[in-house]
Structure formats: C-alpha cells, structure tokens
Amino acid sequence: MNILFISLGCDKNLVDSEVMLGILAKDGHQMVDDETMADVIIINTCCFIHDAKEESIQNILEMADLKKTGRLKALIVTGCLAQRYKEEIIQEIPEVDAVLGTTSYEEIAHVIDGVLSDSPMERGDVRLTMKDVDYLPVTDTHRMVTTGGHFAYLKIAEGCDKHCTYCIIPKVRGDFRSVPMEHLLEEAQNLVDGGVKELILVAQETTMYGTDLYGEKRLPQLLRALCKISGLRWIRILYCYPEEITDELIQVIKEEPKICHYLDLPIQHASDGILKRMGRRTSRAQLIETIEKLRREIPDIALRTTLITGFPGETQEQHEELMDFVDQMEFDRLGVFTYSPEEDTPAASMPDQIPEEVKEERQAELMELQQDIVFDQAEDRIGEELLVMIEGKVADENAYVGRTYRDAPNVDGLIFVNTSEELMSGDFAKVKVTGYADANTGNSKINKTLSEKRAANVAEVLKTKGITPDRIIADSKGDTVQPYKTPEENRVSICIAE
C-alpha cells in the first residue's frame, strides 16, 4: 500500500512517527509524499495547546476530503489528539477509519490490515485502538529516521509525574516511565550504525530518567554508556528541569567530550507567585543558583529556556519581574509561549485570565529583549573558531549551512560557512566566525553581508527543515531571521564563517 504519513507536534511525537514508519516499511508498505497517490494516510497529532489542536484538526479535515475525491482508502489518526478526543473524532469525522492512542502506535500495521479488511467485524475491532495510558511501548523494529540521517532524537522516557497546572501531558501521555537502558543503548547503536552522528535526548523530563526503574536518577550513567558508542560525535540533552539537575550530571557533562555543553531548561517563569500557581517546584532564587552553578562549572555552556507569558493572574509587576530575570540571566536561546488555557487543567479555571492582546504584547516585549541579548552575544563571537556540523549546501554558492554545539536543530541558530571545499550533510568542519548580518536586506551589522540571493536561499534551506518560506519574517532590527513557529517564537541567528 502507498502510505502518506503526516507527523505533527514535538520531537517526542516525531520519534513515535519514526517507529511507526519503521514498522510499516518492515511490513512492505511504500511511503509517498503526495496525498493524491496515497492509499492510506496516517496523521500523528498533537494537542498540547489550542494552536496545535487546530493544526491537527485542519490536517484531518483536509485529508478526509480525499476519501471523496482521491484514491484514499483509509484515514488513521494517532497521537495526543487521538488519545484525548477519541470519541469526538469517531463521532464527528466519520471519514476517519481508526483512532490509535499514544501507547498503541506499535499496532499500526495490524490496524491498517483491519481497516482495509472486507470484514465489517475486523474493521470494527480496530476502529478504536487504545491501550492503558501508562503502558510503555518498546519495539525492536528499526526506526525510519526522517531528520536527514546525521542527527536523531532518542526518547529516553514517556509521560510525566509533575502535573503542572497548565499542562495536559500526564492525561494523554501517562505517568513518567523510563525506557530500559539496554533498549536505549541498542537503539542508539542502530541509529549510529545508520549514519547518525548526533543524538538528542528527549523526554517530558530527561533529568528524572531511571527513577521509576532503578530507584535513582540514572541519566549520568546513561550518558557515559552512550559516549562509548564509536562513531557518535555529539550528544545533546533537552528538557532538563532545573530543580532536578545534580552535581553528578554536571560532572558528566564536563568530563565527556561527546556531550555538548548545552542544556535546555524549561523554567516557564521567574516570579515566585506565578511559579507557585503553575505548580512548578522551584523558585527564582533556586533558578539563579542553578544557572550560576552551571556557568561556573561549565563556562562555555549554552543555556536555552522556554517561558509562558500571560499565565492567569500574572500582573504587570510579575511580567516586569520576568523581564528583569531574562535581562539578568542573558540566556543564549529563548522561546516564549503565550498561555493557552487547556480544558481539564487547573489553570484553565483559575480566576484573572489574561486577555490575548496582553499576552501577545508581553510575549513581544520578552522576545525583543532577548533579540538584543542574542545580537550582543553574536557580536562577541566574531573571531572565534567553532566546530560546525554541516546541515546542507546553499544553492548556487560556495557556502553551507551548519550548526554549532550551541544550536539544537529547528529551534536555535544557523551558521553559514563560506568555503570551496566539498562537504556533505553530517560532516564536521572547523570554522572561524567572521560576521553577523541581516539575512533579508544584506545590511551589514559587522563586517560581512548576506546577498539578496543568499537571503532567498536562507528560505529554501529552512524549508527543508519544515519551515515554510513565506513564513520567514525579517526581524525589525535586522539581526536575525525569525521562522514563524506556532506557538513558540524562536529566533534563528544567522552567523557568517569561513
């Protein structure tokens, strides 16, 4: 069968999609990228916030139309939206032939056989395929990596026990469950054998890895074991809750050369009052202590964080407190969500909900502040020598796009490397930073410029990473390119190197 697969949402959802693709390929199915040629369409959905739900629903409705106008025989919906709204999808969108929950994706081949069966009973049996939300699927099938082959995400745990007041994840993903270490090491080896050079560790919370299986945090031990894999160059850690970062983890990052000096710390806010209402387990003082310790122990560490603005009850004073914190901490990378009220979460029924226009104004103020911080940091990097992983070639130019250890794919910065050498995606090159410029106009902020032609090529390169060119917006200050990514605004820094 010809199968079109649409994967929405986060990198953790992408891992589930890649597992399903591997199962389907092993079962003999053919993948296509043209919906008009598909016999079966699978949509792996997201429902983290309102915009993600809208995107998922819109994709389902658009693909459902092909049941009337195309060759489409079956439409299958999986993922978080399917888990949360299974009955509503079945009742309201009859074109959907089957709904799979977040812990049922290993059944995808069986479900396809069922929905295409001539037997009404078999079709009915798979219409709603759900397992316990706390079940942990572990499949031995090799994933089909969709990230280009040189980097891949390694999901080390599923679910979350934190129960922050704004978050629906525990309801759709279950309690925190670690993937057994031996399985992760086998999966990592398979990925590296397939050409992967950077592994990016993800989970709802990576820092708690092992507590449920081994009775203690085992992320440091997992990292040391991964570092022994021959051929693996970089290991990057995302989703580290700051209050769970231990001295042992910091020491491993310091000692192991394969581990990028980069941490993603989703702090969400810095006002003690808002942190308490969010159900977070830290304070402003503790956040400062953790950040200062990380920078003291690992001076060249790059810190990324995400914030929520406009949380219920957030006053102007608390917003200014957050602004002051961002200004003081000078994060290397930062994204901002506007608060989205999600049904069945405590925060959705809290008093003093903030108007959307106020949320957006506060988001814009935070991003403008962060823009200035990032630009100042970029100026300071002129003359530095950096190791860059090549992502791809700029069309019609002797230039390549790459990332440094400071940049996670799709959310952080890019570096353009001018060279006549032939390079391939996944190659590593040592470069010297020579400038930082406006990617749209070519106006020089330092001593190098991007041509108008290259500005167009920036859009084309970002398109290959899932960012539509017509959504690329020039920053008002002309020092970054901002790909529009709902709901989080991420700044993509453009540096020039040789």
pLDDT, residue 460, reads: 53
pTM beyond 0.85: yes
Contacts of residue 281, defined as CB under 8 A and 6 or more positions apart, other chains included, come to 162, 241, 243
DSSP state of 204: S
Q: What are phi and psi of 170, to 5 degrees?
A: -60, -30
Q: Which of 211, 229, 162, 234 has its CA nearest to residue 402? A: 234
Q: Which of 39, 45, 36, 94 has its CA nearest to residue 70? A: 36
Contacts of residue 339, defined as CB under 8 A and 6 or more positions apart, other chains included, come to 166, 308, 309, 310, 311, 312, 314, 347, 354, 359
Helix/strand/coil percentages in the chain, nearest 5: 40, 20, 40
pLDDT, residue 494, reads: 53
Q: What are phi and psi of 285, to 5 degrees?
A: -65, -40
Phi-psi category of residue 21: left, alpha or beta, with phi > 0 → left and psi -120 to 50 → alpha:
alpha
Rounded distance between C-alpha atoms, residue 471 and residue 415, angstroms: 20
Rounded distance between C-alpha atoms, residue 5 and residue 364, angstroms: 34
Q: Which of 332, 266, 333, 258 has its CA nearest to residue 299? A: 332
Contacts of residue 417, defined as CB under 8 A and 6 or more positions apart, other chains included, come to 388, 390, 399, 400, 401, 402, 423, 429, 431, 497, 498
Residue listed under structure tokens 């708690």? 208
Give 91's Cβ-side CA count (13 Å radius): 4
256, 257, 258, 262 alpha-carbon torsion, rounded to 10°: 90
pLDDT, residue 13, reads: 93
10-residue mean pLDDT profile of the chain (498 residues): values are 94 95 94 93 91 91 88 95 94 94 95 92 90 90 89 97 95 96 96 97 97 97 98 97 97 98 97 98 97 98 97 98 98 95 95 97 95 86 91 85 93 86 92 67 36 46 40 25 33 53
Tokens of 11: 């990198």
